[in-house]
Amino acid sequence: MSIDRPTRPAPAPRRRRPRSPRTGFTPGRTVGSALVWAIVAFNLAIFAFLLIASFRSTAEIFAQPWGLPTTLHVENWVRAWAESGFARATANTVLLALAGAVTATAVCAPAAYVLSRVRTRSAGPISVFFVLGLGIPAHVTVIPLFAMMADVGLVNSLFGLYILYSATHVPFTVFLLTGFFRSLPAEVEEAAALDGAAAWRSFWQIMLPLARSGILTVLILNVISIWNETLLGLVFLQSAENYTLSLALLNFMASMQFSGADYGSLFAGVCILVLPMVALYAWFGRRLVEGITMGSGK
């Protein structure tokens, strides 16, 4: 005869305490964010000072460095643009920046595509060879380059400086575009190969449109680099009509030692040099970040 034991009631399920949502603010992240915003505020303060000082006279700048202009001295910009040679220097810089960036990108895009897609033993060493070019200081190459350019008569020539700018930006362009092409899906290229598309047609009609974000990123970065370059222009350009913006600014600073201080026009010249790049960053800033992050995905 079996005795039925009373069954114990099942224990009530434990209520889980609601977890507090993670705010994501850790001490390290908070300190890093504070440092980033401090740097941003510092740069904005410098930019505001340059812009305000470009509309003030030299006496006002020294009397009250952080004061606002009582009257707008627009003649500072006129003097910097017309009398100091910034008009011609701007045309030279725009020509060199666009031509050098477009040439470097057009030459390096097919090379980066091949290095990222072709599986050969030489692809890896060639990629490393381009990466090593990023670590060579520009000061080391100045004397050999000057000797080579003097032999072919391209010293004090905008065309010679264009060749140098295009060649010196090849390692960075190949490095960035190789990583970007490597991050693109290979299935699209394989489907095009099954349809009978050759390698050049796959690159031109399929992969290049997919890589337009990376192409635009490296193009803008090359334009900014050439726009701000000073060393090669200082070494290879000798006549004032061939000066770039950075050299025109240096020449204007040197002329102030003899003609008297004119810091209002000097700050106007600095703004002429800086404002186009600030506008370019403001216009393509998000696209630049997206292109760089996508290129570093693989």
> Which residues lie closer than 8 Å to 243 by C-beta, 6 or more apart?
85, 88, 89, 92, 233, 237, 251
**Model confidence pLDDT, tens digit, residues 152-164:** 999 999 999 999 9
- pLDDT (mean) for 28-35: 84
Residue 121 domain-assigned (yes or no):
yes
Residue 247 domain-assigned (yes or no):
no
pLDDT at 115 over 90: no
| Confidence band for 8, pLDDT divided at 50, 70 and 90 | low
Residue 30 domain-assigned (yes or no):
no
pLDDT at 63 over 90: no
Domain span at residue 168 reads: 93-241+285-295
Residue 23 domain-assigned (yes or no):
no
pLDDT, residue 2, reads 47
| Confidence band for 297, pLDDT divided at 50, 70 and 90 | very low
Residue 235 domain-assigned (yes or no):
yes
Residue 14 domain-assigned (yes or no):
no
Residue 191 domain-assigned (yes or no):
yes
The number of domains in the chain is 1
> What is the CATH number for 146?
1.10.3720.10
Where do runs of H (alpha helix) occur along 118-185?
Answer: 123-134, 138-151, 158-168, 170-183
pLDDT at 291 over 70: no
- pLDDT (mean) for 119-124: 76
| Confidence band for 132, pLDDT divided at 50, 70 and 90 | confident
- pLDDT (mean) for 273-280: 87
- CA-nearest of 241, 218, 217 to 95 is 241
Residue 152 domain-assigned (yes or no):
yes
pLDDT at 103 over 90: yes
